[in-house]
Structure 1
Amino acid sequence: MTLRPYFSPLPLIAASCVALAGCGFGQVGTATVAYQQVGACNGYGAVTGRPNQAYVIFKIEAVDNSQGNVNFLFIPTRLYVDQSTEKQKAEWVGGWKRQFVSENTKFLQDLGGAGITPKSVPHNSKAELNAFVFVPVNTVNANGAAEANQTSYKLSYDSQPVPGESDPAVVFNKTNAAQTTWPETESCQAIKL
């Protein structure tokens, strides 16, 4: 019987972890997006959503990159509401139900609010935005606003850094997280921005 030498994989695993840490993993820091949910509606005038859909409006208060170690190009259309079930989240990413912020800034202008354009936030700094975005979400109720105004939605950010660059990790601070209901507003023009 020939004995073969045994090599434990633990030193290799430990060395890999140290190497990853030294290559910038975790060194980009974090950027915090402060926001609040303003309300939901079904549309206004000629702009109406489909049945079983609502427009949820959020105010983006600030992007704080003071804990970031790299500059952050904040692109509002990368914000989304994840309506995926836990089963969908466990499966292939293409099956997820992410509802992204709309690019339509005229919608917000018609409501008297300022939309957001991409904003570069240098590391170790904070940008006060105080502007709005909206996300069309799916609802079970045909009157989407009735359901959406009884639902607290969370925003997430789809990080897609430019090749050769890194975004900081994005975390969220929903400043009205304790609020779970909003006034019934079928017409978006009834929402106070």
Structure 2
Amino acid sequence: MSGLSFKSLSVLSFGCAAAAIALAGCDKAPPGQTGITFRQIGVCKGFETASGKVTAPNGQAFAVFKVQELDNSKTAKGFLFDPANLYVDQSNATQKAGKVGDLNRRFSAPDTRLTQTTGAAKLDKVTVPSGEKKSVDGVTYTAIETNNPTGGPDAKQFDLSLLYDDWTSEKVYTPEGWVSQVVLTKLNPSDTFTVVEDCKSLPIK
């Protein structure tokens, strides 16, 4: 797979890393927290582009998501949303009990070929002011391992949730400070997914 890179899985921690929380089945962030709503679109092996085929590495597949809304209406601070901070956590129990750098976190790909070839909207960095919401309806994807690395039920290994790494140096230096917790809500938690060959066969748009 040429030209596709992913954010490093190791994370620097300055004292502590802020926790990201994933919830399923509710549609509101608690008071004082920023909410992100999303849908899982599917899991696929690759897609054709004008310059050739993009294929997931051996033992991996692309997990595709659509982020629908950023809800910062319940906080007193602005929220700098960066799609590169979205990730799927495929850590097993031992990794979760260890250091942050040991986690198997599959970060969103900084790559726009899937959205370009399907005509779907891509996700961009955006600041959502305090007390406001923003509809984005943008697509992102990440390469996940397909050998069930979490050790959970095989039948559910491709039913995935997004998380948000909400510690970034950019937020530390904003006048308002930074949002300490981001709550992600999956809008289709009961859907079940399997790996398909062609990403274009998914309902991405």
What corresponds to 1:174 in structure 2?
186
Per-residue displacement from partner, 1:116-161 (whole Å, max 9, x unpaired)?
11011011110001111001101118xxxxx899621111110124
Q: Which residue of 14, 39, 44 corresponds with 2:42?
A: 39
- Measured in 2, the distance between the counterparts of 1:44 and 1:173 equals 28
> Which blocks of at least 5 consecutive residues in structure 2 are unaligned?
1-30, 149-153
Closer, same or farther: CA 168–68 of 1 in aligned 2, 3 Å: farther
- TM value normalised by structure 1: 0.77
Supply the RMSD in Å over aligned alpha carbons. Answer: 2.1
In the alignment, is residue 75 of structure 1 matched against residue 86 of structure 2?
no
Counterpart contact for 1:139–1:148, Cα < 8 Å: no
Shift of 1:87: 1.0
The 4+ residue runs of structure 1 with deviation greater than 3 A are: 147-150
- Residue identity over aligned pairs, in percent, reads 32
Counterpart contact for 2:47–2:114, Cα < 8 Å: no
| Aligned partner of residue 122 in structure 2, secondary structure | coil
In the alignment, is residue 124 of structure 1 matched against residue 131 of structure 2?
yes
Pairing 1:102-181 to 2, within 5 Å after superposition: 102-140=109-147, 151-161=158-168, 162-164=171-173, 165-181=177-193
In structure 2, what residue type is equivalent to 1:90? A
Matched pairs, number:
160
In structure 1, what residue type is equivalent to 2:185? N
- Measured in 2, the distance between the counterparts of 1:41 and 1:181 equals 10
- Measured in 2, the distance between the counterparts of 1:168 and 1:149 equals 30
> Which blocks of at least 5 consecutive residues in structure 1 are unaligned?
1-27, 142-146
Shift of 1:180: 2.0
Per-residue displacement from partner, 1:80-127 (whole Å, max 9, x unpaired)?
000001110111211110000000012221122111110110111100
- Measured in 2, the distance between the counterparts of 1:148 and 1:94 equals 28
Closer, same or farther: CA 157–61 of 1 in aligned 2, 3 Å: same
Closer, same or farther: CA 149–41 of 1 in aligned 2, 3 Å: farther
In structure 1, what residue type is equivalent to 2:199? C
| Aligned partner of residue 131 in structure 1, secondary structure | strand
Bigger Rg, which one: 1
- Measured in 2, the distance between the counterparts of 1:66 and 1:33 equals 11
Counterpart contact for 1:71–1:168, Cα < 8 Å: no
Counterpart contact for 2:46–2:62, Cα < 8 Å: yes
Shift of 1:167: 1.9
Structure whose residues are more often helix by fraction: 1
Closer, same or farther: CA 47–148 of 1 in aligned 2, 3 Å: farther
